[in-house]
Amino acid sequence: MEDNAKKTRVNVIPAMRYHDAAAAIEWLCEAFGFERHLVVPGENGTIAHAELTFGNGMIMLGSARDDEYGKLIRPPRDLQGVSTQGAYVVVTDTDAHYRRAVAAGAKIVTPLENQFWGERYGDIVDPFGHRWSLSMQVKMSPEEMESKRRTAMSMFEQGEHPGRTN
């Protein structure tokens, strides 16, 4: 199985449900630059299945349903806004992608900042409740990384999260 995984273009594909999957597809393409790979319409304006690509990554999504499978995966709004997963998107220009998503209506969860693990990182929530992390590698001195690590660990010990706005 591992040999087959090494030959596969994408090894992990997040799957999400949206109440208005058609609107979510439009938003994700506009705000993040996803491209439609496959969109299968369902009944009554729903989306039975969609695959959106970004670089060599992909997400799958569809309309929320009340059938047996639909009871197993729900949009965050059905869980009072709690998200049980998030997508971590690696980009070449985090600031530009972050600004674009926020301009399109995303809510800031964690402002962009260079993090102790050597990435420029920030979290947002899309207008439909799904959480997205945007990240890119940045060059940082070992001293800067250590300083940021110490600050973050101290905050974690106090029950806080570095950069969190809510």
Q: Is 162 exposed, middle or buried (0-12, 13-18, 19+ CB in 10 A)?
A: middle
**Is 99 among the domain residues?**
yes
Q: Is 32 exposed, middle or buried (0-12, 13-18, 19+ CB in 10 A)?
A: buried
**Is 164 among the domain residues?**
no
- The CATH number of the domain where 87 resides is what? 3.10.180.10
Mean pLDDT for the stretch of residues 149-162: 80
**Is 166 among the domain residues?**
no
Does 38 have pLDDT greater than 60?
yes
Does 8 have pLDDT greater than 70?
no
Total number of domains in the chain: 1
**81-108 pLDDT per residue, tens:** 777 778 999 999 999 999 999 999 999 9
pLDDT for the residue 9: 63
Q: What distance, in Å, lies between the first and last C-alpha atoms of the chain? A: 42
pLDDT for the residue 153: 86
**Domain extent for 16:** 2-157
